Chain A
Amino acid sequence: MSLTNAQRQKLLLFPVYVALTAAGIFTLIPFAWLVCAAFKTNADIFAFNFLPLGDGFLGVDWGRLTLLNFFRLFRELGIGVALTNSIFLAATSALLATFCCSLAGYALAKFRFAGRGLVMSLVLAALVVPGSLLLAPGYKLLYDLGLLNSFAGLILPGLTPAFGVFLFRQAMVNAVPATLIESARIDGAGEFRIYFTIVLPLVRPMIGAYLMITFLGTWNNFIGPQIVLQDPQSFPLSVAINQLRGLYGTDYGLIMSGTLVSIAPVLALFLLLQKEFIAGLTSGAVKG
């Protein structure tokens, strides 16, 4: 009865916190299970749901945790090669795609020229072509070009995704003032210099977001490398870990540690870039 407005507000928020916390716990449980399993022997994975219980700090027997799974992954199974392949493929694709998409987006946003409307409709048309339609003819094309079983066969088709061109075009239309470009031209700056020193710094948030989007997409891509690559030494983590499952299917500790090695780097990268990433994701949909 005698509650102030602020107190009422707080009381009303209480069930919201309860619901959000419950949902948060459900979201985190698979991660927690994965991390715990990666550091346990297979016997302990069977014996304990999460951490092995014992007399140690917080009632956990910390001494039973082991790095054995990781030693086996890197020493015996050479997963380091797959990790390197994943880093190389994802970093190269992300840098090249960001560069090429920002160039094309800049041309469409800030230049007036005959044929601009046509190119813009090509971009929009490319957006709606489903990737699975291109699987079979794309494979045949890579075969004809001699690009099967090479990293180039994975990187080149994703050099300039229409989605990226579209995102950069949208970002640059408003973020880059035409007068700035014009005065740079009057001062005698070359076109590439204008692009690198004036245009790119103005869309830095979009660059961060798109680097992250393409890095993540390449890192998590399975069907591409599964189809294109044949030599196990060139497999990225996604394909290599699945092969591991085929060979050591019941060795849960090994598979979970391999999965942890595969997702920890992108989670860390996301923590660094999360603000730009989420802003970039929604920019196309909300204020397009």
Chain B
Amino acid sequence: MSAPASASAPAAPLAVRRYRAEPAWVPWVFLAPFLLTFGVFLIWPLVQSVVLACQQTFGPKSTAWVGFANFSFLLHDPLFWKAVRNTALFAAGSVFLQLPVSLGLALLLNRPGLRGRTIFRLIFFAPSLVGLVFVGLLFSLIFAPRTGLVNTVLNDFFPAFDPEFPWLQVYVMPALILAALWLYAGFNMVYFLAALQGVPEELMEAAALDGAGAWHRFRHIVLPEILPVGTFVVLMSLLGSLQLFELPYILLNGPGADNRGLTIVMYLYDNGFVTGDLGYASAVGWVLALVMGSFAFAQRWFNKRQEES
């Protein structure tokens, strides 16, 4: 590129030939793609979404100013509250079922002297490579009446079991949580495993020699060590759960019977892209962003308090 003129100038004595400072434009050229996409595809849509949230639109072309009507309609729409309830149920299922399973698998895999750790980790992690769409399709057939795996196996073991039992109409949320467990348990496990490998082994051995039981060692040595990663994983699965859309949308082929699989983002999608009201969808987006922001804030506050104590 640009050959440095000063460095090769014969007049410069060797002793003072310091390293050439890079030209000031260099970092800005390197940052240009980021700054451009940041401005065009993040800042601009964010500004737009504030304006849109106060409008009613019919597709991207025609708009009408409605002020805060979107928000007041939203907060009075029973369907929105149903979506909130479903999403919260799913998030609770993720945190209270999925994460203990993930941590349990990580603790098992972290046992000293265990063979085949790599292959087990590979197996547990594999489902998280499968996209939500494909997991949705796969489990929609696994839970299908008559031919689905669940019903045929149950029918083989218990001939009295009705092979036509419609799981996806009766147990919507459990089916969703189970599919998500299959998908994400190994993914979160990888984080816990990485954190567990940071727990000093000498400390564990010393505690064991002092007669500390397994629970005490976990509570007083392991848990404090993995807590920062733990709260990070809790936050990630909370934020992910709050944005749940594709899994129920594909698994149930829509919001499901009696809207029991309707989530906040599915509500946003239906209003914005099926009905065509991008303004209302933006209002939903802002409410969701506020909720997510407060969770992220809570995690930071919790971590700070932990560090201080």
Q: Do A and B bind each other?
A: yes
Q: Residues of A with Cβ closer than 8 Å to B?
A: 9-10, 13, 16-17, 19-20, 23-24, 26-31, 33-34, 37, 45-46, 49, 100-101, 103-104, 106-108, 111, 113, 116, 119, 122-123, 126, 128-141, 143-144, 156-157, 159-160, 162, 165, 182-183, 185-186, 188, 190-193, 195, 216, 219-223, 227, 238, 241-242, 245-246, 252, 255-256, 259, 262-263, 266-267, 270, 274, 278, 281-282, 285-286
Given A140-B60, A156-B41: A27 in contact with B20 (beta carbons within 8 A): no
Give A90 to B78 CA distance when docked, in angstroms. Answer: 39
Determine if B108 and A20 form an interchain contact, defined as CB atoms under 8 angstroms apart.
yes
Residues from chain B with a CB closer than 8 A to the CB of A34 are 138
Q: B21: nearest residue on chain A (CB-CB)?
A: A185
Residues from chain B with a CB closer than 8 A to the CB of A28 are 123
Determine if B131 and A222 form an interchain contact, defined as CB atoms under 8 angstroms apart.
yes
**Least CB distance, B166 to chain A, in whole angstroms:** 14
Determine if A49 and B152 form an interchain contact, defined as CB atoms under 8 angstroms apart.
yes
Determine if B232 and A285 form an interchain contact, defined as CB atoms under 8 angstroms apart.
yes
Determine if B191 and A144 form an interchain contact, defined as CB atoms under 8 angstroms apart.
no
Given A136-B52, A285-B194: A141 in contact with B27 (beta carbons within 8 A): no
Residue in A10, A135, A160, A242 whose CB lies within 8 Å of B285:
A135
Q: In B257-294, which residues have CB < 8 Å from any A CB?
A: 265, 268-269, 272-273, 278-279, 281-282, 285-286, 288-289, 292-293
Given A185-B19, A262-B134, A286-B191: A104 in contact with B30 (beta carbons within 8 A): yes
Residues from chain A with a CB closer than 8 A to the CB of B111 are 13, 16
Interface status of B147 (Cβ within 8 A of chain A): yes
Give A266 to B265 CA distance when docked, in angstroms. Answer: 26
Q: Can you show 21 pairs from A to B with CB atoms below 8 A apart?
A: A16-B114, A20-B105, A23-B105, A31-B127, A111-B27, A130-B243, A132-B243, A132-B245, A133-B285, A135-B272, A137-B49, A141-B45, A156-B41, A182-B19, A185-B4, A186-B17, A241-B137, A242-B133, A259-B134, A259-B138, A263-B134
Closest 5 CB pairs of A and B: A190-B1, A220-B131, A137-B45, A107-B30, A100-B33
**Least CB distance, B12 to chain A, in whole angstroms:** 12
Interface status of B215 (Cβ within 8 A of chain A): no
Given A49-B153, A259-B134: A282 in contact with B191 (beta carbons within 8 A): yes
Give A180 to B281 CA distance when docked, in angstroms. Answer: 51
**Least CB distance, B253 to chain A, in whole angstroms:** 7
| Interface residue tally for chain B (C-beta within 8 Å) | 98
Determine if B138 and A126 form an interchain contact, defined as CB atoms under 8 angstroms apart.
no
Determine if A27 and B1 form an interchain contact, defined as CB atoms under 8 angstroms apart.
no
Q: Mark B28-41, 1 if CB is under 8 A from A, else 0.
A: 10110111111011
**Least CB distance, A170 to chain B, in whole angstroms:** 14
Residues from chain B with a CB closer than 8 A to the CB of A192 are 1
Give A216 to B132 CA distance when docked, in angstroms. Answer: 11
Residues from chain A with a CB closer than 8 A to the CB of B19 are 182-183, 185-186
Q: Mark B1-27, 1 if CB is under 8 A from A, else 0.
A: 111100110000000010110111011
Residues from chain B with a CB closer than 8 A to the CB of A16 are 108, 111, 114
